[in-house]
A and B are shown apart, each in its own frame.
Chain A
Amino acid sequence: MVVRENVGLIGDRSPGDVTVFLCGPEPEDIFTAVYDAWASRLGHDNVRLEIDGPQRQIGLFCQYVSVVRDLEKAEKVSRSIARKISWEAYSGVYRAALSFEVDRADAIYRFLVVGFQVGADVIHRLQHPAVCRVFELSRKVGNETHLFLGFTRFAQWKNGVLFARMAPKCNVLPLVAPHFDDRMSGENWMIYDEIRHKAAVHPAGGSWFMVDTVDAGWEEWIQSMDDGQQWEDLWRTFVDHIVIEPRRNPGLQRSLLPLWYRKNMTEHQRTEKV
């Protein structure tokens, strides 16, 4: 990440300028940015947090500071949210940080400004725009997480590993993995987020961890591992036969299971792999 401005320059700012803290997309990046912005002592009204990326708009009269991910700072922030506000507030903020919305970092910052003032009750103050926004983001992430608990599909590789591929809108993998960790502790499994190029890996009997999968060759490798489809065919048979014809209602099906989610679901993969 290119540092566009040096933090040291902040002192030269003219009144009314806003200092923008640019950070990466992961919760750790956002929490680091919260730490830096807070510690800058520029005043809450004079700082803004933004996620760096192509969709970002360059503002006039802004100074930009690039935030470098720092796990220690991030951890300090999360710990003080959990301790000084509440565990619930922390889990809401963490989930909001996994959203895809570009305003998530700043919304979290504003939420925390209120939160450190009023304490645990912050999560009930939906009248407050920042609280309302974090609540909204967190609910969306929570909903999508819940969908993926059901919609994730594993296929069995030749070596017995269960492999799933997902393309979630929000960054839900860190919330989905613990569910399968608990449920399938005795299996070797892997869930791959094909949009963010990372995977949760779980060795049988061990605990899961996250890996980056940006290297070349990864896609080919996982395709070479694919195995037979006996159970996949049986599953498709079941899904077809469970329909009550006089009740057929594809519109309803589409609203409950949007097309976006279908591409990695076994029952909707019909033609490939014959």
Chain B
Amino acid sequence: MLILEGLSLEEKLQILSDAAKYDAACTSSGVDRQGARGTIGSASACGICHSFAADGRCISLLKILMTNECVFDCKYCINRKSNDVVRTSFTPEEICRLTMEFYRRNYIEGLFLSSGVAGSPNATMERLIETLYLLRNKYRFRGYIHVKGIPGASPDRVERLGFLADRMSVNLELPTGDSLRALAPHKTRQTILRPIRQIQQGMAQDRLLLPESGGWSRRQEEAFALPQVTSMPPLEGGLALEGHRDREDHKNRRIVSDLGSGILTTGYQLPQYSDLRHRGDLLASEQARFVPAGQSTQIIIGATPETDYQIVSVAEALYQKFDLKRVFYSAYVGINDDSALPAVGEKPPLMREHRLYQADWLLRFYGFRASELLDEARPNFNVLLDPKCDWAVRHLDHFPVEVNRADYYTLLRVPGIGVKSARRILQARRSSSLDFADLKKMGVVLKRAHYFITCKGKMMHRIRLEENVVTTCLVDQNRRQNWQWEHGQESYRQMSLFDDCKVERMPTVEDQLASVSGQF
């Protein structure tokens, strides 16, 4: 391994940002924290984009590796042991100074620190802990920190790191254990899932210690536990995937049960509250929080043969069973010449990645289940139609729905009605019933929605609700949308960049009741 000594800070930054860029996550969201005297920094739950790179990805955090040395040999990774690349490391001081000087100039919202495995997972974790400790305490940094957990690290190190960071992520990397074995010989499902489970448990206990802070999952549960008056199939609880119906085949069940809770009891306990104060967090003066912005993970798309159905099923299980905040999908970029991988220079499957983000959105905010979107007979997304339109044209018997009466989740199933517009409809129709012109003001995309709704009993145009008629029209619109997306003009923004802050707030119980009783 070629380790260069005496590189300038600029040279190190070139190498270690190059090496970090394939991680898709760059959001700074999930936690609100005000500034405080004697410190620098704050955090905004919505996340803040500071710039956009020439590939259109948001730059929010200083995304770097601590070192690109690595003793592992993951085939898809540029830093793998067997690659002949220049290796270097930042010192903890260098990372702190870069972060602070960038932050003061408002270049960044915080730090996203990841690392190759230098020496051993535990030794790497110690360096990460040392760096964040310095940043929080010596430099009094109160901004956002996202840190990577190293697979195979010991629970106490995961815990110490978790008290210094806002978000922690351990990448799942590949959707199935088989693929992992094939491409990442040093990683196993278990070394990856154990810290994920531990972080989840730590966060849950943290929430118990601080009862006033409602986690995302709790809010999600509330929102999902609504009276079932819709024509939709009822949503199942967190274990939906284990109770899968017979039509689910074995393979898929195995993929998902791989994530099952049995093998993953870590028995992890957060220390008592009184112990938290010496955890070294600058924020200890208030209350040290454990991974307050939640955890995320990343799945590489297109390096292995899994179907979209398998991937969204895994994502669903991660949301439901592991309480993940985000799953990121990263279209595989061919960098290593390896017979086990797609060829170098092959175009990354960006449209597929886009469809997965759209589906992910439907899982998290629209009350869809993976098995409604895809199944074994249709295991991949339609390239011509986005997943929601695709679902709607296959379920025309659910439509049209009356906008002035339908409840929140029914509205959400209408193509062209989003979370915000559905919420606005619920509020506006309390004072008077709505017309198509009103819907436009609420942000409804009538071009798409009009096939599926009535206002005061009338459709906008007289059309036959037939699958092929509607499909043809929607495919045509989607083609334009796809074109715009490919040329960087549309929609990508809503799906994957701007984080969820604005849609996370579910409608209040009151909104729900109003719609359920249908009295307005």
| A82 at the binding interface (Cβ < 8 Å) | no
Q: Which A residues are CB-close (under 8 A) to B53?
A: 239, 242-243, 253
Residues of B within 8 A of A208 (CB): none
For the complex, what is the distance from the CA of A20 to the CA of B14, rounded to whole Å? 60
B102–A231 touching, CB < 8 Å = yes
Q: Which of A111-159 contact B (CB under 8 A)?
A: 118, 121, 124-127, 132, 146, 149-156
* CB interface residues, A 164-197, toward B, < 8 Å: 164, 179-180, 182-187
Residues of A in contact (CB 8 Å), total 55
B105 with A153: CB separation less than 8 A: yes
Contacts of A243 in B (CB 8 A): 21, 53-55
- How many pairs of residues, A versus B, come closer than 8 Å at their CB atoms? 177
Considering the chains assembled together, what is the distance between the CA atoms of A246 and B332 in angstroms? 10
**Who on chain A is nearest to B334 by CB?**
A246
With A231-B102, A251-B487, A267-B51 known as contacts, the answer to whether A237 contacts B58 (CB < 8 A) is no
Interface centre among A118, A146, A150, A205 (most CB of B within 10 A): A150
| B55→A248 contact, CB < 8 A | yes
Query: Which residues of chain A (10-68) have a CB below 8 Å from chain B?
Result: none
Contact present for B431 and A125 (CB under 8 Å): yes
Evaluate contact between B488 and A124: CB separation under 8 angstroms: no
A154 x B59 contact (CB < 8 A): no
The residue in chain B whose Cβ has the minimal distance to the Cβ of A182 is: B35
**CB-nearest residue of chain B relative to A162?**
B104
Q: Choose among B51, B57, B143 the residue that contacts A247 (Cβ–Cβ < 8 A).
A: B57
Given contacts A162-B104, A185-B37, A247-B348, contact A238 B13 (CB under 8 A): yes
| CB-nearest residue of chain B to A136 | B441
Any chain B CB within 8 A of the CB of A213?
A: no
Question: Within 8 Å of chain A (Cβ to Cβ): is B338?
Answer: no
Q: Is the interface of B mostly helix, strand, loop or mixed?
A: loop
- Tell me, rounded to whole Å, the shortest Cβ–Cβ distance linking B434 to chain A: 7
A77-121 CB contacts (< 8 Å) to partner B: 118, 121
Q: Are B56 and A247 in contact (CB under 8 A)?
A: yes
Chain A at the B interface: SS class:
helix
Scoring B106, B428, B434 by chain A CB atoms within 10 A of each residue's CB, the highest score goes to B106
* Chain A residues in 8 Å Cβ range of B441: 126-127, 132
A249 lies within 8 A of B55 (CB)? yes
Asked if A235 is at the interface (CB within 8 A of a chain B CB), the reply is yes
Stretch among A1-9, A215-223, A254-262 lining the B interface: A254-262
Interface positions, chain B 173-225, Cβ under 8 Å from A, are none
Cα distance, A153 to B106, chains bound together (Å): 6
Interface mask (B88-126 → A, CB under 8 Å = 1, otherwise 0): 000000000010011011110100000000000000000
Asked if B269 lies at the interface with its beta carbon under 8 angstroms from chain A, I say: no
**B10 contacts across to A, CB distance below 8 A:** 233-234, 237
Give the chain B neighbours of A267 by CB distance below 8 A: 51, 107
Whether A257 pairs with B488 at a CB distance below 8 angstroms is: no
State the CA gap A149–B144 with chains docked (Å): 15
Name the segment of B38-46, B128-136, B374-382, B458-466 touching the other chain. Answer: B38-46
Bound complex: CA A176 to CA B358 (Å): 32
**Contact across chains for A239 and B46 when beta carbons are under 8 A apart:** no
Using CB atoms, name the residue of chain B closest to A135. Answer: B441
Contact status of A242 and B347, CB under 8 A, knowing A252-B488, A253-B56:
no
- Residues A256 and B428 in contact, CB atoms below 8 Å apart: no
Contact with A244, one of B22, B44, B345, B431 (Cβ below 8 angstroms): B22
Tell me how far the C-beta of B227 lies from the nearest C-beta in chain A, rounded to whole angstroms.
22
Residues of chain A with a CB closer than 8 A to B488's CB: 249-255
Verify A155–B56 contact, CB threshold 8 A.
no
Q: Kindly state whether residue B504 has any CB partner on chain A within 8 Å.
A: no
Rounded to whole Å, the gap between the CB of B318 and the closest CB of chain A is 24
Partner of A239, one of B48, B51, B350, B442: B51
A124, A149, A246: which contacts B430 (Cβ < 8 A)?
A: A124
Report A255-274 CB contacts with B as 1/0, cut-off 8 Å: 11100000001110000000
Offer 6 A-B interface pairs, CB within 8 angstroms, sorted by A: A124-B424, A124-B431, A151-B50, A153-B107, A238-B17, A266-B107
10 tightest Cβ-Cβ pairs between the two chains A and B: A252-B488, A252-B56, A251-B488, A124-B427, A247-B55, A182-B35, A150-B50, A257-B52, A183-B42, A249-B56
Q: Which residues of B contact A (CB under 8 A)?
A: 9-10, 13-14, 17-18, 20-22, 34-42, 44, 46, 48-60, 62-63, 98, 101-102, 104-107, 109, 143, 331, 333-334, 345, 347-348, 350, 424, 427-428, 430-432, 434, 438, 441-442, 487-490, 492-493, 497
